[in-house]
Structure formats: C-alpha cells, structure tokens
Structure 1
Amino acid sequence: MGVGDVSKRILLGRKLRSSQLGETLLPKRIALPVFASDALSSVAYAPDEILIMLSLAGASAYTYSWQVGVAVAVVMAVVIASYRQTVQAYPSGGGDYEVARTNLGEKAGTTVASALLIDYVLTVAVSISAGAQYAAAALPVLSGHEGAVAAGLVAFVAALNLRGVRESRAIFAAPTYLFMLAMGAMVVVGAVRWWSGNLPRAASADITIVPHEGLEGPLTTLALVFLLARAFSSGCVALTGVEAVSTGVPAFRRPKARNAGTTLLLLGLIAVTMMLSVIILAREIGVRIVDPSDRDRLFLDGAPVPEDYDLDTLISQIAESVFSGFPPGFYFTVTVTAVILLFAANTAFNGFPVLGSILARDGYAPRAFGSRGDRLAYSNGIVALAALAIVLIWAFDAEVTRLIQLYIVGVFVSFTLSQLGMVRHWTRALAEERDAAERHRMMRARVLNAVGLTMTSLVLVVVVVTKFLAGAWITILAITFFYVVMQAIRTHYDRVSAELAADEEDKVLPTRVHAMVLVSKLHKPTLRALAFAKATRPNALEGVYVATDGRATSALMAEWDERDIDLPLKVLHSPYRELIRPIVEYATEIRRANPRGVVAVYIPEYVVGRWWEQLLHNQTALRLKGRLLFQPGIMVISVPYQLQSSEAARERAYDDDTRVRPGDLRRGDVRDRR
C-alpha cells in the first residue's frame, strides 16, 4: 500500500462494498439528531437575531420579542406540516427540487436547486461561525480568530462525513441529545428560579442601548411594522434545515416516508419549545444584545462600554444567570451549544451531496457529483460544500449577523416553489383518484400545502423587502449564477449526447489505416510497440523518429539497418529541436491526404511503481497525447512497458485486495481471495 493509500485509509477508513449500502441506513433515534441538528441548533442564534433587530429601537423594543417568536413558531408549524406531505408523496430524496421539477417544470426545478445549494453552503457557514463565537465565549484566547477556527472546523466536519454516515452517526447523535439535555435543564432551572423569585438579572441588564439613528423616540406605526418585519425575517432562520429531512429520506430505514415524517414532527416540537423558552428567559433576566458592529450604541452608567467589554451570545448570558453559583452548568451549556452548532453543519453535509447527485443524474451538475466514494458517501459533493463554505467564512470573517442577511432568501424561495408544486401535485392526483377516502386525504393535504404556500410566499416578500440592501441581493445574484451555470451544464450534456448518438454512418469502416510507431531509440518498449502495431495489420506501418541531433540520428538509422527491421523508418527533421510539433504536423498531413482514412499513432510508455518515477518518464508522451487527441481522424494508442518497479506496486495492490483484516469475518467480508 502506497503513502497515498495509507493516508486515505487513515483519514477515511476501510473501503465499503456497494452491497453494504443498506448498512448505512438510519433508525429514527439516529436520524433525528443527524438531520434535525441544523433546525435545533438555530435556537442558538435565531433568538439572538430577533433581539438584535429589535435593539435598533432600543431595549424597550424587546417587549415585542415573544410576539415575534410566536409568529416564527406558527410559520414553522405550518411549514413542517406541509413537508410531512412532501415526504409522503416524494420519498425518493429529491425534496423541493423533485417537487418543483415534476410539477412546475425544468426551470422551476433548477431555480429551487440553485436556492437549496446556496442554502446548504450558508447553513455550514452560519452554523460553524456561530459555533466559533460560542467557542470564543468559553475560551477567550480564541477571540479575534473566529474565522480561522471556523475554517478548521469546516474541514473537520467534512472529514467526518467523508468517512460515511455509518461510522460518524454516533458522533453526530451524541452532541444533539446533549444539547437537548442542556437546553432542557436551563429552561427548567430558569423556570423554577423565576417562579420562586430568585432568578438573577443578566450581566448586561444594566447596559443602555441607544436607538439607531432615525428610530429615536416613539415609533410611527409604519416604522414599528417595518422593525417587527425585520426581526421576524431574521428569526425565520429557525426554519432552516427543515427541507434537509425531505432530501434525506433515502437515508432512513423502512418505512422511509413514515420515519421521515415522524422525525419532522419531533423536530418541530422540540425546536419551537426551545426557541420560545429562550426568548422568554431572555426577557425575564433583562439580556441586552446588539450587532457587534453597533457597540458604539452601548452605554454603561452613562459612559460608552469599554473596548474590552465582551457582550456574549444570548444563550451564554442566560446560562450564566440561570446557573449562577453552579459554573459547571454554564460551561456544559456553552460547550454543547458550540458543539451542536459545529455538527449542525452536518445537515447540509447530508443534503448538499445527495442533491448534487440528483442534479448530476439529471444533467445539471458534473457527473462526478453522482459517484460514491470509498465509504459510500458522495465525496465530491462533500468536498465542494466544504470549499465553498470556507470561502464564505473567510469573506465575512465568520460574523453570523452579516451572514444571516444572506441566509433565508434561498430557504424561502425553495419553500414557496415547493409548496406551489405540492398544490399542483394534489390537484393532478385528485383528477385521477376515485376513492372517496383517498380523495378526502388528498384534499386535506392540498389545503395544508396551500396554507404553507400562502405563508411562505408572504415571508419571502418580507425577507426580500427587509433584507435586500442588507445583503439579500448577494444571495439573489448567487442563485442566478448557479441557475445559469446549471443550465449551461445541461445544455453541454445535451449537445454532447446529440453528437454521440449512433447512426448508420458509424458502421462504415475507414478506407485505410496508416499506422506509425514513435521511436526515440531502439529498446524493448519500441520493439514491443512495433510488434503490436504489426499484429493489428494496418494498411501502412512505419516507424517515426524526430531528428534533433545529427549524430544520434545516424546512430539510430545504422542500428535500424543492423537489426534488419522490415519496416520503413521516417525521419522528421526538427531544426528547432521540437519533438511534438513535427509529429502532429506529419500525422495531420497524412490524414488530410486521405480524409476517409485513419492515422494510428502508437506511443511506447513506461509503467513505473513510484510516484516520483512518473515525474522522470512519459512527460513528452503526455504532452503529445494532449495535442493529438484534438486532431480528428487520428487515433492514439499507448503501448505500456512495465519497468521492474511496477511489479512492487502490483504486489502491493494485490496484497491490499487479498489480505484478511481484523473484523472481516464478523462483517461477512471473508471470501475466496485466491
């Protein structure tokens, strides 16, 4: 096994056979944390964003926080109820993309796919960036380095996913359940202390927030509505991750649709309870929080807060107050919150590669996205998602509030088109269904999806209006860019398919085959290539040598005659010592003289066993093939000659395939390997 193979084995683990794909399917108890971690983790930043938007009018506007939270909860309940219909109707894993493409057409499907891809990238960027901020809250030494920390965490999560879900699912499940435990404990302890009247105030409760310019004094009705709309649109990030369950239905154990629907229901109940509890606790302990760029609006005892004053995240402040006198409770809550935010990105790492594979199947993404890696994961999609997320994190310096402005546009574009597609789906199904009970079920489902369409479209309008100048325009441009790229890829594949379609002309044999064997010197590789070319019985066969040195040319011609080779040797003189151009021009000239014929160029190549040996051989052959492949009517044939070092590489590969490893018998992976 080579160095590259060893490194890959350490990083990714042992290869899995295709027949083991069924072993990676998830039960509900594992699927819930794996697919719902994004939506659950939004509790760690959605309430923050609501309060940050309300703080533009000063701390007095926090009184509206619970109303905004209830509005977000209502939208989430409707969306989850609608998506339960989606997973029942489309359990194949296409999710919003399949619904829109099937019911609204190719363009709508591509639009949804573009929005979802952007959403997945932003999910990783936002979740990991929020996790880096919580890590900095627990470890002040990381403060100021959130971008680098977040980029490293993205790479870590990507590596876990490259190993495949079967091994990593326990890793992802544990933090989610611990986060639920921590939040539950914080809410229960906070409620008990609130009821008993000894719930401490937050450390930031004495801070005064100066309203943003233009929002001082009593707000007009229009200004208040716009402020609440901005807070509501920011709070709707709590809905992100819901669509990943519909995309990941194939990963569930049977019955897939029912298990996915149950997971969605549990996700909604837990997320809504957590979010509203956090908002209520924040109001009761007097938390103050603003955008990090608005620190100049914070005053303490009539003076601006010091430069080194740390305004921690919302859950950090709540945990510090609720668990006052019990530091382990605070550190446990902050730690598991940071970890769940880290692993919340796993929802996107499950959804993005699956969607990429479906797009590749339909011709809208490179075919490489449809191939499974050694661990049966869609490795290319995982790597692409990690790379895009890291670029975004660096561009926005891991600032969650700036990233949030880009976030939910794509989510609600896909939500809206998906709900519209589901309404049309049920309408078509009702036109064909005659059973009364089934028609009643379909009509009820259509009503649910119609309500979901109305609500998500209204939210989309609110999001675009309130966040367009704050950064939503970037997401709209990105969706447009992805749409154009995917349409271009589909056009390319369609054009190539049309060109490759077989017809009667493809059965016509060439009138003549002119074969040439490239000769550098008379050694074993050249003699083998000559023998192989002669065995194919072309109409004409010759050796071709490029002369760059007179003495070497004379020596080769003399040896050719001495060995009595019964083939002509064509010498191409190259006064400028070029090797590739004379061969290309000569082959092209022969082809031009006989347009219905074929020129076959045989190239002797060394087969080596070490990577560094490849750098010392075959470089001219590689460049020559690159030139000849673009010439019509010219065929390139490599004739390999195995050097001694290649035998060692072959034996390493054979040993790797036949060696019995620990655990093979238990896994049923022992077979006849002779």
Structure 2
Amino acid sequence: MLVGRPFRNDRLPHTLLPKRLALPVFASDALSSVAYAPDEILLTLALAGVSAVAFSPWVGLAVMVVLLTVVASYRQNVHAYPSGGGDYEIANVNLGKSAGLTVASALLVDYVMTVAVSISSAAVYLTTAIPALHGQKAAFATIGVVILALVNLRGVREAGRLFSIPTYIFLVSILGMTAVGIFQAATGQLKQAPSAAFEIVPVQGFDEGLVGLGGAFLLLRAFSSGAAALTGVEAISNGVPSFRKPKSKNAAATLLMLGVIAATMMAGIMFLANAAKVHIVADPATEFLLNGQPLPADYIQNPAISQLAQTIFGAGSVLFFVVVAATGIILVFAANTAFNGFPILASILAQDGYLPRQLRTRGDRLAFSNGVLALAAGALVLILAFDADVTKLIQLYIVGVFISFTASQLGMVRHWGRELKLAKDRNVRRRMFKSRTINMIGFGMTALVLVIVLVTKFEQGAWIALLAMTALFLTMWSIKAHYDNVAKELAVDEDSSPRALPTRVHAVLLVSHVRKPVLRALAYARASRPSRLDAITVDINAEETARTVADWEKLDIPVPLTVLDSPYRETITPIMEYITTMRRDSPRDLIVVYIPEYVVGKWWEQLVHNQTTLRIKTRLHFEPGVMVASVPWQLKSSEEAKNLQDLR
C-alpha cells in the first residue's frame, strides 16, 4: 500500500531521469537554500546592529561568486567521473584511500544534516503560515522525514514526478516576487518590511558595529552561514547514474541551470531584503526594540521570504500564501536531494567494503531502500536532539560539504595533471588545461571558505559535525578491516580440499518430550545414516524425565536415550559439557546436533516457543566441528499464516 509493487530488474532503465525531472530531484536543496541562507546572513550581521545589516548584499555577492565557481568546477567533475562516486571517487583515485574515506564521511554526515536543516526550516515556514502551530516544529519535522522516506522507497522516478511541480511553482513564485519587488523598488513603490521599524540592540562586544578584528570576524561568520547556499551542488555528481544518456552531458546541463537559477534568486532576495530593511535577530524579545520598548515574549519572527512576500504582495493576500506555501514545500523536498545522494554513495561504499553490504543492493522498487531508511533515522535523531532549531542545526552544517568540495577540487587538479602528461592532441590538451584551471580556482576558493567555516563555526557547534565525521571514518575503516580479515580467513587453501571428508559423523538428537516433532527429527537423523546416533535429554524434573524415558522405551526406538544430570536445573550447560566431551574424545569427528523446532504463525507465539532452542543453537554455533540441524514442525497457526500470505 505505501511503497507499491516490486519492480523487475529490467525496469531499471525506466527509472532514469530526464533533465526536467533531474532538476527538482537533485537541485532542490541548493535552490531552496534561499529560504534560510539570507536569514542566517541577516541574523549574524544583526549582532552588530542595524549598520552592520547594510553589508548583507555584499556578503550575499561573495556567496554567489563561490557558488558559480563551484558549479563551474563540478561541471568538470561529472565529465571526468560519471560513474556516480562523485567526490568520494575523485579523492579516492587521486588522493588516496584515506582522503576518499574522509570525503565519504564528510558527505554522509552532511547529507543527514541537509535533511535535518531543510525539514526543520520547512516546519518554521509552516508555523509562519499557521501561527496556532507555533511550538510544534519538531513534531511536524518528524512527520516530514517519514513522508519523504516513504516517497523515496517508491523509487527515484516516482519521487521526481511528485516533486517536480512544487519545485517549479517555487521557482516561479520566488523569481516572480523578485521581479515585482525590483520593479517596485525602481519605481519607488516598495514598502518597508514589517520588521523595518524595529531597532536592533547590538550584543555585547559589537556595540560599535563592524570595526576592528571582531567586526571582520563577524563578516566572515555571516559569509560562512550564507555559504549554506552551496549545499546540494555535489549531489548531482553523485547522482550521474540516475540521468538519461548522455549522462555526463545532462548532468552538466542540470548543474548549469542550478547555478544560474540559485544565484539569481539569492541576488534578488538579498537586494530586496536590504531595500525593504528586513531585520532578523536570534532572540527578538531581547534584541528588538519598538519605540524604545522590548517586544512581547510571544512575538513570532517571520523569515525573510515571508516578510518580503508580505511587503510586496500584502499580508493575507493569495500571492503571499502561494510564496510562503511554495517555500515551505520546497524546503521539505530539498531534503530529497540527500535522499538521492546518500543511498547511492552508501551503496558505492558498501561495494568497496566500508559499509555493511546490505546497503549496496536495490530494494523492491529499484531504490537503495536500506540507505533511505538509514538516512531517515539519522535525520530524526538530529531533529529531536535539537528540537528542529534551524539556527542551532546550521552551525553543524556545511563543514562536511566544504571538506568534500576542497578535496574533490584538489583531486581534479591532480587528475588533469596526470591526463595532460598522456595527451598528445593539441585541442585535447587545451581543453584539459582549461578544466584544470577551473578546478584550481575552485580548489583555492573552497579551501579558503573551509578555513573560514572552521574558524567561525567551530565553537558554535561545528566541532560536533567534525566529531561525527571522525567517528564515521573510524567505523568505516574498521568495517573494511573486518571484511578483509574475514575474506583472508575464508579463502580456500591447501587444507580446504573439497575432497576432504570427516572421519566419522556423530549425530546427537535433543529430546525434551516424546512427541511428533522429536520423532520427525529422529527420522531425519536416521535417514542421514550417521556413523553413530545418540539421543539425549536433560533431567530438570525427575517425574517428567521418568515419563520421557518410559515413552521412549514404550515405542521401542532403536536409539539409546542418555539422561544428563542437572543438579542446578540448567538445560544448556549439561548439553554443552556432553558435546565438549565428545569433541575431546574424537576431535576429528563431525558432530551434527538435530533440534526439533516449532514454526509458528503469530508473533506472540514465538515468545512462548523455541526460546530454549534459540539459546542452545547460539551456544553451539561457537563450537568448532559442530553443526546444528533444525528440524521444523509447522503448527496449525503457521499454515493459516501461509494461506493468508498466498492470498496477498
């Protein structure tokens, strides 16, 4: 009902995306950043008062320059590495395995952050449109993550179709609002924002505005917060396999559209926010004054786009609600970028042995279902831990993505340097030199931004993201080491000849009561024709043991029944001591333990059956030279469950 019917493998080509669907699927994160990146720039600059907020357009311009540079750099990436490994593959091939794993750790953490930040920001816009829902951000963010996970479990193409219309509505509404707002500003008709009349109280240390080292640091901090607009650019390079052919060309074209549209919207929002005097602070109750008096404690501060829509179209107008609703919806869908990038990257890492192998295969709908579920779980933990607070979450944000940006650009510089040594054709060399130059500029710029982000955001929470990346790096490294060690241990050598047979097979039947399941297990054991067959029972209750022995003799079973003493009323210890003695007396014999086991049809029946059997099997699995044979006996409830499943 929720996920849909399974797809055959031959349906995989039909799940590939044309550019019109790829843009909303892979670029919605970067496009939607205009909903919160301007807010973070304005909020940070407001720490130094109204005069500092006037610098916001210049900070936005710097962010746009970096955005366009990174887009141009990643267009080179998708042509050179179209397999879908993206930054991880580039770093792994050109900088070494440690660098590749560092990039992978950074990207995985950042994808989780993308979902948490986008969904939390969408919850803010929802409470803006419906003030009665104020204080329920975490609950609505949780619901949003669950819905996104279910949609992506249905498949990439289905998600693209669902998200395409709202994404294009968002683009039209923001670009349309920007055009109308610029026209109003040019003709002198643009009104002041609702927060323009508020006086901003500078925080302690910034009373004199952006002066000295502290002012420069605050500008850099505002820039690093605005650099959140670049998140999502890398997702296209990871998702190249999901594009239709020619994959690299279509991915590069989508990147170009992303860069142009995102930069245009960012420029428009920052210009209008400055022209309409939009003011945003961290704590309105203490940092805003109206006529010299603080605002009420229950004052709800609206985001920048909401204030601009109210200023340009009027509060309560249809267009106001269209802009706010489209922004809230696109923020939910922005998280879908991560739901496409994370599972693909996790699948590649699983193929390389760095993550559990369950993540490498596609699910029923040809999506990487386990990766989708893992991402949703990580995002829910963050949302609940930080109560869906965007300002707190965004401090953990973008650290990982700029680590991957920097490493991938350095890797591309090395890639083109290696290719230039092999290329002989002059035209080919000219194109390679151009690409290397673009990637060198991208490396220099992203490295500078990374340093700024680390310096300005470390104490605000970036250290948590770095700690998570380190933990993930060590975890993946240990998983790889484990898989390698297991492969060496299981490799066929001279002692593993398929012709080698055990000296003898010693079968042991576990008996609790003389009932049909035990007799079936006995029949299977005898049919295997072991060299020796013993039946054992543990004396927990003298009366029951005597009854079991009498029933065994009454049926005249041609197999001796051995009664194991258990003075402490234990079941497992006497059995293990018996098996250990057999192994010590005949170390080259193969011991096969036959255990009758009930097959039940209801979940609660499993709680009242097979518990002792499960414990015995678990202990026996650690014994060398011992095999466990479970002999199933289907209860009537299992037949009913099977018939119900057949009807489905």
2:218 alignment counterpart: 227
1:455 alignment counterpart: 445
Question: AA paired with 1:559?
Answer: D
How far off is 1:649 after superposition? 3.5
How far off is 1:366 after superposition? 1.1
Compare 581-590 and 95-104 and name the one that shifted more. 581-590
Q: Does 1:136 align with 2:113?
A: no
Q: Does 1:339 align with 2:311?
A: no
State the Cα deviation string for residues 12-54 of structure 1 (Å, max 9, x = none). 1112222222221111100100110000000001111111111
Q: Give 3-state SS (helix, strand or coil) of 1:506's partner.
A: coil
The two structures, once aligned, show a CA RMSD in angstroms of 1.5
Counterpart among 315, 327, 330 of residue 317 in structure 2: 327
How far off is 1:326 after superposition? 6.6
Query: What is the alpha-carbon distance in structure 2 between the residues aligned to residue 377 and residue 219 of structure 1?
Result: 50
2:377 alignment counterpart: 387
Indicate if the aligned counterparts of 2:49 and 2:209 stay in contact, CA closer than 8 A: no
Indicate if the aligned counterparts of 2:206 and 2:215 stay in contact, CA closer than 8 A: no
Query: What is the alpha-carbon distance in structure 1 between the residues aligned to residue 315 and residue 326 of structure 2?
Result: 19
1:552 alignment counterpart: 544
2:506 alignment counterpart: 514
Q: Does 1:16 align with 2:12?
A: no
Counterpart among 286, 295, 298 of residue 288 in structure 2: 298
Compare 208-217 and 68-77 and name the one that shifted more. 208-217
Q: Does 1:354 align with 2:354?
A: no
Q: Give 3-state SS (helix, strand or coil) of 1:572's partner.
A: strand
1:150 alignment counterpart: 141
Superposed, 1:176-187 pairs within 5 Å as: 176-187=167-178
Counterpart among 522, 537, 554 of residue 530 in structure 1: 522
Q: Give 3-state SS (helix, strand or coil) of 1:637's partner.
A: strand
How far off is 1:588 after superposition? 1.6
Q: Give 3-state SS (helix, strand or coil) of 1:11's partner.
A: coil
Q: Give 3-state SS (helix, strand or coil) of 1:189's partner.
A: helix
**Consecutive unaligned residues in structure 2, runs of 5 or more:** none
2:355 alignment counterpart: 365
Query: What is the alpha-carbon distance in structure 1 between the residues aligned to residue 9 and residue 115 of structure 2?
Result: 28
Q: Does 1:420 align with 2:410?
A: yes
How far off is 1:655 after superposition? 4.3
Query: What is the alpha-carbon distance in structure 1 between the residues aligned to residue 366 and residue 602 of structure 2?
Result: 28
2:582 alignment counterpart: 590
2:38 alignment counterpart: 47
TM-score if structure 1 supplies the norm length? 0.93
How far off is 1:169 after superposition? 2.0
Query: What is the alpha-carbon distance in structure 1 between the residues aligned to residue 285 and residue 38 of structure 2?
Result: 19
How far off is 1:123 after superposition? 0.3
Compare 630-639 and 567-576 and name the one that shifted more. 567-576
Question: AA paired with 1:21?
Answer: L
Query: What is the alpha-carbon distance in structure 1 between the residues aligned to residue 459 and residue 5 of structure 2?
Result: 49
2:624 alignment counterpart: 632
Superposed, 1:1-12 pairs within 5 Å as: 10-12=1-3
Question: AA paired with 1:231?
Answer: A
How far off is 1:411 after superposition? 0.9
Compare 390-399 and 519-528 and name the one that shifted more. 519-528
1:489 alignment counterpart: 479
How far off is 1:294 after superposition? 5.9
State the Cα deviation string for residues 231-255 of structure 1 (Å, max 9, x = none). 1111100000001111111111111
Question: AA paired with 2:398?
Answer: I
Indicate if the aligned counterparts of 2:506 and 2:591 stay in contact, CA closer than 8 A: yes
Compare 344-353 and 307-316 and name the one that shifted more. 307-316
Instruction: Figure out how many residues of one structure are paired with residues of the other and give that number.
Output: 646
Query: What is the alpha-carbon distance in structure 1 between the residues aligned to residue 350 and residue 315 of structure 2?
Result: 55
Counterpart among 245, 256, 259 of residue 247 in structure 2: 256
Q: Give 3-state SS (helix, strand or coil) of 2:119's partner.
A: helix
Query: What is the alpha-carbon distance in structure 2 between the residues aligned to residue 245 and residue 96 of structure 1?
Result: 11
Q: Give 3-state SS (helix, strand or coil) of 2:38's partner.
A: helix
1:120 alignment counterpart: 111
Question: AA paired with 2:515?
Answer: H
State the Cα deviation string for residues 599-645 of structure 1 (Å, max 9, x = none). 11011112233333333322221111111111111111111223344
How far off is 1:561 after superposition? 2.4
Q: Give 3-state SS (helix, strand or coil) of 2:564's partner.
A: strand
Query: What is the alpha-carbon distance in structure 2 between the residues aligned to residue 654 and residue 157 of structure 1?
Result: 30
2:420 alignment counterpart: 430
Query: What is the alpha-carbon distance in structure 2 between the residues aligned to residue 29 and residue 326 of structure 1?
Result: 32
Question: AA paired with 1:263?
Answer: T
Q: Give 3-state SS (helix, strand or coil) of 1:468's partner.
A: helix
Q: Give 3-state SS (helix, strand or coil) of 1:635's partner.
A: strand
Query: What is the alpha-carbon distance in structure 2 between the residues aligned to residue 557 and residue 325 of structure 1?
Result: 87
How far off is 1:346 after superposition? 0.5
How far off is 1:325 after superposition? 6.8
2:436 alignment counterpart: 446
Superposed, 1:65-76 pairs within 5 Å as: 65-76=56-67
Q: Give 3-state SS (helix, strand or coil) of 1:406's partner.
A: coil
Question: AA paired with 1:41?
Answer: S
Compare 64-73 and 432-441 and name the one that shifted more. 432-441
Q: Give 3-state SS (helix, strand or coil) of 1:638's partner.
A: strand
Question: AA paired with 1:185?
Answer: G
Counterpart among 86, 89, 107 of residue 98 in structure 2: 107
Q: Does 1:574 align with 2:571?
A: no
Query: What is the alpha-carbon distance in structure 1 between the residues aligned to residue 433 and residue 277 of structure 2?
Result: 47
1:77 alignment counterpart: 68
1:199 alignment counterpart: 190
Query: What is the alpha-carbon distance in structure 2 between the residues aligned to residue 49 and residue 388 of structure 1?
Result: 24
How far off is 1:521 after superposition? 2.2
Indicate if the aligned counterparts of 2:29 and 2:231 stay in contact, CA closer than 8 A: yes
1:614 alignment counterpart: 606
Give the direction of change, closer, same or farther, for the CA distance of 1:225–1:655 in structure 2 (3 Å limit): same
**Consecutive unaligned residues in structure 1, runs of 5 or more:** 1-9, 657-674
Question: AA paired with 1:448?
Answer: I
Compare 408-417 and 578-587 and name the one that shifted more. 578-587
1:604 alignment counterpart: 596
2:203 alignment counterpart: 212
State the Cα deviation string for residues 222-280 of structure 1 (Å, max 9, x = none). 33322221111111000000011111111111111111111110001000000010000
Indicate if the aligned counterparts of 2:210 and 2:216 stay in contact, CA closer than 8 A: no
Query: What is the alpha-carbon distance in structure 2 between the residues aligned to residue 534 and residue 218 of structure 1?
Result: 91
Question: AA paired with 1:566?
Answer: P
Query: What is the alpha-carbon distance in structure 1 between the residues aligned to residue 608 and residue 346 of structure 2?
Result: 38
Query: What is the alpha-carbon distance in structure 2 between the residues aligned to residue 554 and residue 231 of structure 1?
Result: 82
Query: What is the alpha-carbon distance in structure 2 between the residues aligned to residue 505 and residue 219 of structure 1?
Result: 75
Q: Does 1:175 align with 2:166?
A: yes
Query: What is the alpha-carbon distance in structure 2 between the residues aligned to residue 655 and residue 320 of structure 1?
Result: 56
Give the direction of change, closer, same or farther, for the CA distance of 1:190–1:218 in structure 2 (3 Å limit): closer
2:22 alignment counterpart: 31
Query: What is the alpha-carbon distance in structure 2 between the residues aligned to residue 326 and residue 146 of structure 1?
Result: 22
Query: What is the alpha-carbon distance in structure 2 between the residues aligned to residue 399 and residue 640 of structure 1?
Result: 53
2:256 alignment counterpart: 265
Q: Give 3-state SS (helix, strand or coil) of 1:93's partner.
A: coil
How far off is 1:156 after superposition? 1.5
Compare 360-369 and 236-245 and name the one that shifted more. 360-369
Query: What is the alpha-carbon distance in structure 2 between the residues aligned to residue 218 and residue 167 of structure 1?
Result: 51
Query: What is the alpha-carbon distance in structure 2 between the residues aligned to residue 495 and residue 652 of structure 1?
Result: 44
Query: What is the alpha-carbon distance in structure 2 between the residues aligned to residue 354 and residue 618 of structure 1?
Result: 39
Query: What is the alpha-carbon distance in structure 1 between the residues aligned to residue 394 and residue 143 of structure 2?
Result: 21
Query: What is the alpha-carbon distance in structure 2 between the residues aligned to residue 434 and residue 195 of structure 1?
Result: 55
Give the direction of change, closer, same or farther, for the CA distance of 1:552–1:311 in structure 2 (3 Å limit): closer
Compare 375-384 and 347-356 and name the one that shifted more. 375-384
Query: What is the alpha-carbon distance in structure 1 between the residues aligned to residue 71 and residue 614 of structure 2?
Result: 55
How far off is 1:574 after superposition? 1.8
How far off is 1:221 after superposition? 4.3
How far off is 1:450 after superposition? 0.8
Query: What is the alpha-carbon distance in structure 1 between the residues aligned to residue 425 and residue 515 of structure 2?
Result: 80
